[in-house]
Amino acid sequence: MNDLDFESWVCPLPLRDYPKIVLGHGGGGKLSNELVENLFVPAFSNETLDKLSDSASLDVAELLKDGGRLSYSTDSFVVQPLFFRGGNIGNLAVNGTVNDVAMAGAKPVYLSCGFIIEEGFEVESLGKIVNTMGEQARLAEVQIVTGDTKVVDKGKGDGLFINTSGIGVIPKDVNLAPNLAQPGDVVIVSGEIGLHGIAIMSEREGLEFDAPVESDCANLNFLIEEMLEVTKEIRVIRDPTRGGIASALNEIAKSSNVGIVLEDSKIPVPQTVRSACELLGLDPFYVANEGKLLAIVPREKSEEMLETMQKNEFGKESAIIGEVVEQNSGMVVAKTGIGGTRVVDMQLGEQLPRIC
């Protein structure tokens, strides 16, 4: 999925005169224009953006002509390090919002992006990130139609922050919401959990593994489209990003006033993630994912759903991991490997590594 060649990216002239971002790049003058014309437009190029208007003009009536609704979402990206195994902040900025829009069952169409850049940031790094964003947008078949750049004084930012917003179209008869899970439904996860969080953390802590963990960052909109073709009766789809599957499932259990029972042994946790979590004192259920979804589906459709998901490149390791029940309303519990039960609680804030 990630065959982008960062190394071969060359910043086009005349930006080369400034190997680092200066305050003027955000000032709205000539330097800003050069950044837009030589860096953003070539990377993102599409009909709407290329007009370089102050705002994108979009034909919403055309988008909604079949009676759908708009899905609209925004997300900000402040990851450190900016480059990690399996991608960079650009992958997250595009796919994060594409996925948020798609989780409502929508087909994502347009994105906006805002860059807050710290003075002194390498233009070359910015170029790599922006190029990644262009590539990812093309893969997800969305257009980045408007954007903004601000430069803040050195020390006032952490290299680069990106915000993206996205618009998508929810087809007329699709209705997904976190309060629609029903007792008897089945919980499906689209693949191995914990990869993104561990990739970032091992980068931060300087951990090396025999098989390095790569972020799973990916766009899930086509997988969701295929899932909706199996049945429009899917109740909920969520992406278990920050807070991991534990937090996402707790939110569903609370909104739907149902209990969720997971089977520890059925949850796909890669060996590397398991080892890293043991080492770092973390629980994989709470570790972030960037290319996975959780779906609550009616039991009678679950087998067919699983088969369809497993055919998609981002759903190959999909698995049924639990069920929705009437008991323990608002709670998630897991049946443990040795036959006990534990509560999988909502995480309060950041996951804190244990001392012993």
Partner 1 sequence: MKYLEEFRDPELAKKLLDEIKAVTTKDWAIMEVCGGQTHSIIRNGIDQLLPDEIELIHGPGCPVCVTPLELIDKALAIAATPNVIFCSFGDMLRVPGSDKDLFRIKSEGGDIRTVYSPLDALKFARENPDKEVVFFGVGFETTAPANAMAVFQAKEQGIENFSMLVSHVLVPPAIAAIMESPTNRVQAFLAAGHVCSIMGYEQYPPLSEKYKVPIIVTGFEPLDVLEGIRRAVIQLENGKFETENAYQRIVTSEGNTAAQKMLESVFETKDRAWRGIGVIPESGWSLSENYRDFDAEYKFNVTDIETHESPLCKSGEVLQGTIKPHECPAFGKECTPRKPLGATMVSSEGACAAYYNYGRFAATAK
Per CB under 8 A, residues contacting partner 1 are 205, 259, 271, 274-275, 278, 280-281, 327-329, 331, 333, 335-343, 345, 348-349, 352-356
Strands (E), 98-204: 107-118, 143-152, 160-170, 186-189
Cis ω before 268 (30° cut-off from 0): no
CB closer to partner 1, 16 vs 342:
342
CB of 246 to partner 1, least distance (A): 12
CB of 153 to partner 1, least distance (A): 18
Structure tokens at 163: 């915000």
CB of 280 to partner 1, least distance (A): 7
d(CA 141, CA 306): 24
CB closer to partner 1, 278 vs 304:
278
CB 216 within 8 A of CB 86: yes
CB of 104 to partner 1, least distance (A): 29
Judge residue 307's burial from the number of C-beta atoms within 10 Å of its C-beta, 0-12 exposed, 13-18 middle, 19 or more buried.
exposed
CB closer to partner 1, 60 vs 279:
279
CB closer to partner 1, 61 vs 348:
348
CB of 338 to partner 1, least distance (A): 4
Judge residue 22's burial from the number of C-beta atoms within 10 Å of its C-beta, 0-12 exposed, 13-18 middle, 19 or more buried.
middle
d(CA 123, CA 117): 10
Q: What is the DSSP letter of 329?
A: T
CB of 254 to partner 1, least distance (A): 13
CB closer to partner 1, 22 vs 269:
269
CB 344 within 8 A of CB 246: yes
A 10 A CB-CB count for 77 gives 19
CB closer to partner 1, 67 vs 206:
206
